[in-house]
Amino acid sequence: MSDHPAPAAASGGTAAARAADKPLRILIADDTPAIREILVRMLRQSVDAQVYEARNGPEALREYRARLPQVTFLDIDMPGADGLTVLKEIRSAEPQAFVVMVSAHGSLEKVQEAVALGVAGFVVKPFSSRRIAEMLRKFAQSVGNRGLVPAG
């Protein structure tokens, strides 16, 4: 688990404007270090973000509770607790959490269960920066384009 803070934009103005100037908090939960690294890099190219990482289900839950990320990328298949178990726990704590499931191979049953639990979207490995950007745009739309600061 590592914290990769990005510099925050200058703040000022109303409380809402200051909140929008803060980096986005994103959690990446995946048991493959290379996948986490690629996703961190793609996110950094798209948005000003503090990115937190988890290597397994229990760590993902700890990081989620500690960091309260605005966006979570959650692998379906992880040791300790799979992504669907983690998603259920996140949903019980925060029904409106923006969670994107990530998987190289999701069975139809797992996809249907994730949809029933209100997952915001799916990203299939190997993923593209375009697909990651789509998920970030979807998040921005879900919060009325507040809280999404472009990188740069």
Q: For residue range 106-139, what is the model confidence (pLDDT) as tens digits?
A: 678 888 888 899 999 998 888 888 999 999 999 9
Residue 98 lies in a domain: yes
Q: Would the pTM of this model clear 0.85, i.e. be above it?
A: no
Which residue blocks in 47-128 are alpha helix, DSSP H? 57-67, 83-93, 108-116
Q: pLDDT tens for residues 36-48? A: 999 999 998 888 8
Residue 150 lies in a domain: no
Residue 152 lies in a domain: no
The pLDDT value recorded for residue 56 is 97
- Measured CA to CA, the distance from residue 95 to residue 130 in angstroms comes to 27
Residue 111 lies in a domain: yes
Residue 88 lies in a domain: yes
Out of 25-39, 83-97, 120-134, pick the least confident.
120-134
Q: What is the domain-level CATH number for residue 48?
A: 3.40.50.2300
Q: What total number of domains does the chain contain?
A: 1
Residue 81 lies in a domain: yes
Lay out the sheet containing 121-124: strands in order across: 3-4, 49-54, 24-29, 71-75, 98-103, 121-124
Q: Which residue segment(s) compose the domain that 43 sits in?
A: 3-142
Residue 20 lies in a domain: yes
Mean of per-residue pLDDT scores for the chain? 83
